[in-house]
């Protein structure tokens, strides 16, 4: 009997419900397991509670409650979460924002090219 392989888990963090839904559907249809959070605080709470961490995080930067910048700083300060790759998604043309400058693994400007996103995600899920 073959062992069941779990799909690659991807955490989608975006305050826009429609964007979360579209990304989640596209990822699920491509065979990934999409997990969603509506802001950085919710994403951080999920990551700290789950036993099985996602292979990559798709992170919006402009969100209420906890921005993507604030999330990334908190993520990098948590040893268990720090190594999870992050792809920042933003309508802004760069990562600079007020006092925050963060490092991420990749940056994609919105609107996101879904084919390009799927090719990018595939790199983290091999």
* Domain CATH number, residue 38: 3.40.50.2300
In a domain, 14, yes or no: yes
In a domain, 2, yes or no: no
- When divided into structural domains, the chain yields a total of 1
In a domain, 44, yes or no: yes
Confidence of residue 96 (pLDDT cuts 50, 70, 90): low
d(CA 123, CA 35): 18
d(CA 101, CA 5): 37
d(CA 73, CA 82): 9
In a domain, 4, yes or no: no
pTM metric for this prediction: 0.89
- Structural domain that includes position 73: 9-121
In a domain, 66, yes or no: yes
User: Edge to edge, what strands does the sheet with 33-37 contain?
Assistant: 33-37, 9-13, 56-60, 86-90, 106-109
In a domain, 109, yes or no: yes
Phi, then psi, of 108 in degrees rounded to 5: -125, 130
pLDDT at 107: 86
The yes-or-no verdict on residue 111 having pLDDT over 70 is: yes
The yes-or-no verdict on residue 94 having pLDDT over 60 is: no
């Amino acid at each position: 009997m073959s062992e069941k392989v779990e799909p690659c888990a991807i955490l989608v963090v975006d305050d826009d419900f429609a964007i979360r839904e579209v990304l989640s559907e596209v990822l699920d249809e491509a065979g990934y397991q999409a997990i969603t959070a509506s802001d950085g605080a919710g994403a951080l709470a999920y990551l700290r509670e789950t036993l099985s961490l996602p292979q990559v995080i798709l992170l919006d930067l402009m969100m209420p409650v906890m921005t993507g910048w604030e999330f990334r700083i908190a993520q990098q300060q948590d040893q268990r979460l720090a190594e999870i790759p992050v792809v920042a998604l933003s309508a802004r043309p760069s990562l600079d924002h007020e006092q925050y400058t963060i490092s991420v693994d990749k940056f994609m400007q919105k609107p996101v090219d879904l084919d390009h996103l799927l090719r990018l995600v595939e790199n983290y899920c091999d």
